[in-house]
Amino acid sequence: MAPPSAPRASEDGAPDAPPPAARPPRQRPQKKQRKGRSSPGAPAGAAGGGPRRVLPLLIATIAALAVASTSAGVYAALTTDRSGHAAPSGGPRGDAPPSAGQGDPVKVVDEGQVAPLRRVVPPDVLAAEAGSISAAKIAKIAKLKRVRDVVAVAGGAVQLQGRQVNAFAVDPSSFRSWTPPGTAKRTDLWAALAADRFVVSPDAAKQLQLTEGYEYPVVGRTVPKLTMGGSGDLGLPGINMLVSKRSGTQMGLVPNVAVLVNAPGVSPAKVVAAVRKILGGGANVVNLHDAKYQSSGTGGKATSYLDLYKQAATSCPGLSWTVLAAIGQVESDHGRNAGRSSAGALGPMQFMPATWKSYGVDGDGDGKADIMNPYDAIPGAAKYLCANGAGRGGQQLYRAIWHYNHADWYVQKVLNLARAYAARYS
């Protein structure tokens, strides 16, 4: 286990130190003793019409993951066929299917069901092979030292509004945990996927002039008409679109073409090397912590746990964001284990509901203070600490953390982690 003096930033932006060891029972005012938390909860169709030419979806590489660009209004092709030739992208002399994206969209309304968000799983590494990654290789990746979570997804290039888009087919109930916190908490997006609608990145929605609630032909091996369910930051470079597993099967997306890996407390570069060794030289393995893949908040809007800690600390002059980050790690491992504790504590900062009634904050301005929402819970923790004198530092800071949890070992652990974060990010 890596020492706590070497935390790092996870894909969701949270400073990621080693997961906290099991902690002894403790008592706190309105944030009672916790012995453990609940575990995270966790067909093809034929398009109508005459004969059409379709895009080959046999993926040979995702080497251009970070190169997909909307700056010129055209998405870079990320796929090739097995001969190594680029998949046709439409236009003059191209093999684009007729009428893709043409005609008036049809307004449709449908409802889907999706499991509630119970944790956040920041992806550290994204890997893809030419075809489906075998179950044996996925199992080997899952058994790598310090790897905590692995998810395999279907994917490929499809055409939407006459342009090539890179899509993943996912289970919305489980995959939402792998997206940035602002997207993960948006149940409307995941319910849309559960209802077989599609979700795109904001750039894709803008460039392709898509309208939520309208139906569009999506061109793969077949051309189903799918409804746009919304847009949100997907947090995956070059991936512009998510569809349901059923829609992915219908369009012929390649099963298990890519894997996302979460390995907290270990260098992502080491994970990349280990995964590449398992998949072989033909695979493309991406370190998602590279600066070129990182997104940041715009217009003052936080897009990561790191942003949220820093932003929330400004509400309490004198309080360092590193204290909030340390508490966020100890309490829920930065949202990865935000479910209800045996004592009833909830959310990424593990508030008791009674305490939340006094200190809950509507951090994202949606009209409610949601104990499970990191945009609300982290500012709520800052408010709670500040009310107990955390901004004055020294012994007042010590007492404020002690009020968060009545245990000296807890205070020492938080302060040590805070110092480690300060050293890492100074």
426 residues of the chain, pLDDT tens digit each: 333 333 434 444 555 443 343 343 444 434 434 433 333 232 222 233 333 333 333 222 232 222 222 222 222 222 333 333 333 233 222 233 323 333 333 333 334 577 777 777 888 899 988 789 999 999 999 999 889 899 999 998 899 998 889 999 999 988 998 888 888 888 899 999 999 999 999 989 998 999 999 999 999 889 999 999 999 989 888 889 999 999 999 999 999 999 999 887 778 889 999 999 999 888 889 888 776 666 544 444 555 788 889 999 999 999 999 999 999 999 988 877 777 888 889 888 999 999 999 999 998 787 889 898 888 999 999 999 999 999 999 999 999 999 999 999 999 999 999 998 888 776
Q: Provide the CB-side half-sphere exposure for 210 (13 A, CA).
A: 32
The C-alpha atoms of residue 317 and residue 314 are separated, in whole angstroms, by: 6
In order of 16, 327, 390, the CA distances from 401 in angstroms are 20, 9, 8
Please tell me the predicted confidence (pLDDT) of residue 15. Answer: 54
8-9 and 15-16 beta bridge pairing: antiparallel
134 dihedral zone (left: phi>0; alpha: psi -120 to 50; beta) = beta
Alpha-carbon torsion, ordered 349, 351, 353, 355, to 10 deg: -130
Please tell me the predicted confidence (pLDDT) of residue 426. Answer: 60
Give me 96's structure tokens. Answer: 């684009």
Please tell me the predicted confidence (pLDDT) of residue 294. Answer: 60
Q: How many CB atoms lie within 10 A of CB 382?
A: 29
Please tell me the predicted confidence (pLDDT) of residue 257. Answer: 92
DSSP-derived 3-state class of residue 116? coil
Please tell me the predicted confidence (pLDDT) of residue 249. Answer: 93
Cβ-based burial of 226 (10 A; exposed 0-12, middle 13-18, buried ≥19):
buried
CB 350 within 8 A of CB 378: no
pTM (two decimals): 0.54
